[in-house]
């Protein structure tokens, strides 16, 4: 295993990438943050509101691994600023007009932008971090902060100007595109040029069996997280009777707790190992989610915070685990662990909404308690992978990529 130097958030490439990641993930959080406003202003049912979350997640779930496979063959650093602007444009348009179909199309555009961003950004961050788990934690922290800022930003804009004020929400995308462009200028190959073809050095074989188990666990986490993101605001408003601000605070706590959890995950993994920390996180999530569903009153916020930490501690660790389980397919691993398996929860959210329409929101959230337990069972047989050596980039490419495979471009 290669020796890794220590990293801090003061490292300029990681700082820029993390800040750009925050601007992009504002738009993942914004979809769920807009749900209560769609319900109140447009009288959407729970099922219709969850359909908005599905629209943002479905295309993202499908196209994100495709972007990962593409970036295994070709460097596409230009995707970072372009996809950031695309994600912002979708949310900006989502509140315009009263057509449900056009709203779905708008948030679907956001989903595509988010999908295009994550595989390439994770590969660029891996190169900038030289494989450091702590540095990747800082990169993931940026996304978590973006999530946390989303309900506050959306509430400030939409509560004041209504859904027709959503075009103002494009501003983080503009800032994020500038930050991404600046980050790419700092993460260059040794000759200072950004190439178009990439290869990576690998020290091991792809472990698809372990990667499939990890993906299954991440999918369980995704359903829990997206389900709570879509409905915890409404749930807390019902359980406390404190109105819209109480729901906004609950969603903020769900996202903000991830900032602490992500940084803690990198530090805990350095002491106890990634797989051990990930397993314990899933175990803690079971009683934490149960508390959200079953406990009434102000104590709900404590369980929301605990759930947030339990779901976010393993977040960046799962990304680096996936990359180390598939050292020959880093882009694919990034696309799945950071994208497909995360966004797939949106596919299940309409089921939660439909069950809530037929019973109650509390009953509909109850099945989420079992999913972290299933994830823990999937993780039990996993072992810590041997991390591959530091990446070696060929042809001046920014990120690393898979080794030569049939059909992979080679240098002349």
Residue scoring higher pLDDT (264 or 381): 381
Q: Which three-class secondary structure state does DSSP give residue 242?
A: coil
Q: pLDDT category, 36, cuts 50, 70, 90?
A: confident
* pLDDT of the residue at 353: 85
Q: How many angstroms separate the CA atoms of 317 and 184, rounded?
A: 24
Tokens of 352: 């939660």
74 - beta bridge partners?
197
Q: Which whole number is the average pLDDT over 315-339?
A: 84
Residue scoring higher pLDDT (356 or 199): 356
* pLDDT of the residue at 85: 96
pLDDT over 70 at 168, yes or no: yes
Per the CB < 8 A criterion, the answer to whether 84 and 177 are in contact is yes
Q: pLDDT category, 72, cuts 50, 70, 90?
A: confident
CA distances from 58 to 63, 105, 347 (A): 9, 11, 6
* pLDDT of the residue at 399: 38
Q: How many angstroms separate the CA atoms of 334 and 366, rounded?
A: 31
Q: How many angstroms separate the CA atoms of 48 and 23, rounded?
A: 27
Per the CB < 8 A criterion, the answer to whether 91 and 104 are in contact is no
Pairs from 302-308 (Cβ < 8 Å, separation ≥ 24) = 304/232, 304/236, 304/250, 304/253, 304/254, 304/257, 305/253, 305/257, 306/257, 307/224, 307/228, 307/254, 307/257, 308/253, 308/254, 308/255, 308/256, 308/257, 308/258, 308/261
Q: How many angstroms separate the CA atoms of 304 and 254, rounded?
A: 6
84-119, pLDDT tens digit by residue? Answer: 999 999 999 998 888 899 999 999 999 899 888 988
Q: How many angstroms separate the CA atoms of 16 and 253, rounded?
A: 25
Q: Which whole number is the average pLDDT over 146-167?
A: 89
Per the CB < 8 A criterion, the answer to whether 54 and 350 are in contact is yes
* pLDDT of the residue at 2: 40
* pLDDT of the residue at 333: 85
DSSP secondary-structure letter at 352? H
CATH number for the segment(s) 12-379: 1.20.1250.20
- Mean pLDDT over each residue of the chain, to the nearest integer: 81
Q: Torsion angle, CA of 245/246/252/256, rounded to 10 degrees?
A: 140
Q: pLDDT category, 203, cuts 50, 70, 90?
A: low
Q: pLDDT category, 208, cuts 50, 70, 90?
A: very high
Q: Which whole number is the average pLDDT over 285-289?
A: 96
* pLDDT of the residue at 188: 59
Q: How many angstroms separate the CA atoms of 310 and 319, rounded?
A: 16
Q: How many angstroms separate the CA atoms of 81 and 169, rounded?
A: 16
Model-wide pTM > 0.85: no
* pLDDT of the residue at 332: 82
* pLDDT of the residue at 102: 92
Residue scoring higher pLDDT (366 or 64): 366
What residue spans define the domains of the chain? 12-379
Q: Which whole number is the average pLDDT over 275-291?
A: 96
pLDDT over 80 at 236, yes or no: yes
* pLDDT of the residue at 397: 36
Percentage of the residues of the chain whose pLDDT score is greater than 70: 85
Supply angle C-alpha 293, 298, 303, rounded to 5: 45
* pLDDT of the residue at 210: 95
Neighbours of 241 (CB within 10 A): 10
List CB contacts of 216: < 8 A, sequence separation 6 or more.
Answer: 375, 378
Q: Which whole number is the average pLDDT over 143-155?
A: 85
């Amino acid at each position: 295993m290669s020796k890794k130097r220590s990293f801090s958030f003061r490292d300029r490439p990681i700082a820029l990438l993390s800040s750009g990641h925050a601007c992009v993930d504002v738009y993942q959080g914004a979809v769920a943050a807009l749900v209560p406003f769609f319900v109140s202003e447009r009288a959407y049912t729970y099922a219709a509101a969850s359909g908005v979350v599905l629209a943002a997640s479905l295309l993202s779930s499908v196209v994100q691994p495709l972007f990962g496979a593409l970036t295994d063959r070709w460097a596409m650093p230009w995707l970072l600023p372009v996809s950031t602007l695309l994600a912002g444009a979708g949310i900006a348009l989502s509140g315009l007009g009263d057509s449900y179909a056009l709203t779905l199309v708008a948030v679907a555009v956001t989903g595509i932008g988010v999908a295009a961003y994550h595989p390439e950004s994770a590969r660029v961050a891996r190169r900038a971090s030289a494989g450091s788990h702590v540095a990747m934690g800082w990169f993931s922290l940026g996304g978590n902060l973006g999530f946390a800022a989303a309900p506050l930003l959306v509430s400030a804009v939409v509560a004041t100007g209504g859904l027709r004020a959503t075009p103002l929400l494009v501003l983080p995308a503009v800032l994020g595109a500038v930050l991404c462009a600046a980050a790419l200028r700092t993460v260059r190959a040794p000759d200072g040029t950004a190439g178009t073809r990439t290869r990576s050095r690998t020290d091991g074989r792809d472990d698809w069996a372990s990667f499939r188990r990890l993906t299954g666990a991440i999918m369980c986490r995704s359903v829990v997280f997206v389900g709570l993101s879509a409905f915890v605001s409404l749930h807390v408003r019902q359980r406390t009777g404190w109105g819209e601000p109480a729901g906004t605070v609950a969603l903020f706590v769900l996202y903000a707790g991830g900032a602490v959890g992500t940084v803690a995950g990198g530090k805990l993994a350095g002491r106890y190992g990634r797989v051990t920390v990930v397993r314990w996180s899933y175990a803690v999530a079971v009683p934490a989610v149960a508390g959200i569903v079953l406990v009434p009153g102000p104590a709900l916020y404590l369980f929301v915070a605990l759930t947030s930490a339990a779901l976010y501690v393993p977040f960046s660790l799962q990304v680096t685990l996936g990359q180390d389980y598939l050292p020959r397919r880093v882009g694919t691993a990034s696309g799945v662990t950071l994208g497909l398996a995360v966004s797939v929860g949106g596919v299940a959210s309409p089921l939660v909404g439909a069950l809530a329409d037929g019973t109650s929101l509390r009953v509909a959230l109850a099945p989420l308690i079992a999913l972290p337990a299933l994830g823990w069972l999937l993780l039990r047989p996993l072992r810590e992978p041997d991390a591959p050596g530091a990446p070696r980039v060929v042809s001046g490419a920014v990120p690393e990529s898979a080794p030569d495979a049939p059909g992979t471009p080679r240098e002349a």
